[in-house]
Amino acid sequence: MTSLEILTYPDERLKTGCAPVDTFDPTLQSFIDHLIETCANGPGAVGIAAPQVGMLQRICIVDATKARRPVDNHGHLVLINPEITAWDGFAVGREGCLSVPDYTGKVIRAERIEIKAQDRFGKPCTFTMTGFEARIAQHEVDHLDGILFLDRLVSRHADLKRRNPT
Amino acid sequence: MKNNWLILTLVGEDRPGIVSNVTRVLFAVGAELGEAAMMRLGNQFAIMMMVRGAGSPEDVIGLLESVRMTFDLKLHVDETDAALHQAREPDVLITVHGADRTGIVAEVTAALVESGFNILDLRSDVGGTAASPIYIMQIEGEARQGIHAIEVAIAALGAQGLSVRITPLDTVRG
């Protein structure tokens, strides 16, 4: 299995909305395997979206198991046609992107989301995600809508939410 | 050494047009700007900026003389080994606040260096009133010996009237 080439900003394909997936065939399965491999080889990556490798379809990976510190998560997820259906709360957090090397910045995201999607075989699924995992999912769904974290930057001096209030 | 980055430091009373006029002069001679930090400090405006392609430090001082006079700026130029694409990722945010007094920065940073902490970004403000000023400081950096070492190192600061908050930073990279 080889990693796919990752597109980098300002490639126009990163600013393009993606089409829904409607065929769950072997070609899709093969692409997903390559996308997983590409994410695994991305330095520090906890997710990836299909448009980052030039495939303009609504496919992404969310993997909060790779957080530097343990966080609540649903394991390694392949999400097809994901749709965020509810948002709650907000927090400032730091984000980077395989498609924007050598830069991280602060972004406001919902703290808790509900998301519905299909798994890699087309089976419907829903998740309630919080914190770090919710942030990854929002970052990846943004990619599917042609939005980069650069489009959502807030002040460098915005305070970050405490993870462990005392 | 012509292509080395110079670091320019400019300071003067804050007023509109400083950045525009300084960068216009540099652009006109084909200079390249690198990373920069510019902010209001007190009633002054301070610029720290990487510049190359505008000649030697003496050349740059000469180019900016007119702008410097117009805005009554203090200008300093150093030739450095600065380089781009050297970004470091902070993994801890430390927020400090308390009644303003002398020694806060020295005490906090002494504790942090003791814990192996490396400062990447520090910003402090004085708020409150002139009669009762408060000091607020936000520091982002790398906890090279872990968060616990920082917690131990700063434990004594509370007794000195400072509120210190440690926030681990995890970066989503997707």
CATH number at residue A107: 3.90.45.10
Interchain CB distance below 8 Å, A46 and B138: no
Chain A positions with Cβ closer than 8 Å to B: 42-49, 62, 67-69, 71, 93-98, 102-104, 132, 135-136, 139-140, 143, 156-157, 159-164
What are phi and psi for residue B130, nearest 5 degrees? -60, -35
Reported as a single tens digit per residue, the pLDDT across A46-76 is 999 999 999 999 999 999 999 988 999 999 9
Enzyme catalytic residues of A: 140
With 90 as the cut, is the pLDDT of residue A10 above it? yes
With 90 as the cut, is the pLDDT of residue B160 above it? no
Q: What is the pLDDT of residue A164?
A: 47
With 50 as the cut, is the pLDDT of residue B53 above it? yes
Percent helix, strand, coil in chain A, to 5, is: 25, 35, 40
- CA gap B25, B55 in Å, rounded: 13
pTM score: 0.89
Interchain CB distance below 8 Å, B172 and A96: yes
Domains, chain B, ordered by start: 6-79 (3.30.70.260), 92-168 (3.30.70.260)
In a domain, A160, yes or no: no
What are phi and psi for residue A143, nearest 5 degrees? -55, -40
Chain B CB contacts of A43 below 8 Å:
173
| Number of independent structural domains in chain A | 1
- CA gap B154, B98 in Å, rounded: 14
Coil, helix or strand at residue A21? coil
Q: What is the pLDDT of residue B2?
A: 58
Average pLDDT over every residue of A92-116: 95
- CA gap A135, A138 in Å, rounded: 5
Interchain CB distance below 8 Å, A157 and B169: no
* Residue A63 belongs to domain spanning: 12-152
Question: Closest approach of chain A CAs to the CA of B138, in angstroms?
Answer: 8
In a domain, A80, yes or no: yes
In a domain, A3, yes or no: no
Half-sphere exposure at residue A135, Cβ-oriented, CA atoms within 13 angstroms: 28
Q: How confident is the model at residue A130 (pLDDT cuts 50, 70, 90)?
A: very high
Count the residues in chain A.
Answer: 166
8-state DSSP, A89? -
In a domain, A1, yes or no: no
Burial of A18 (0-12, 13-18, 19+ CB in 10 A): buried
Chain A CB contacts of B165 below 8 Å:
162
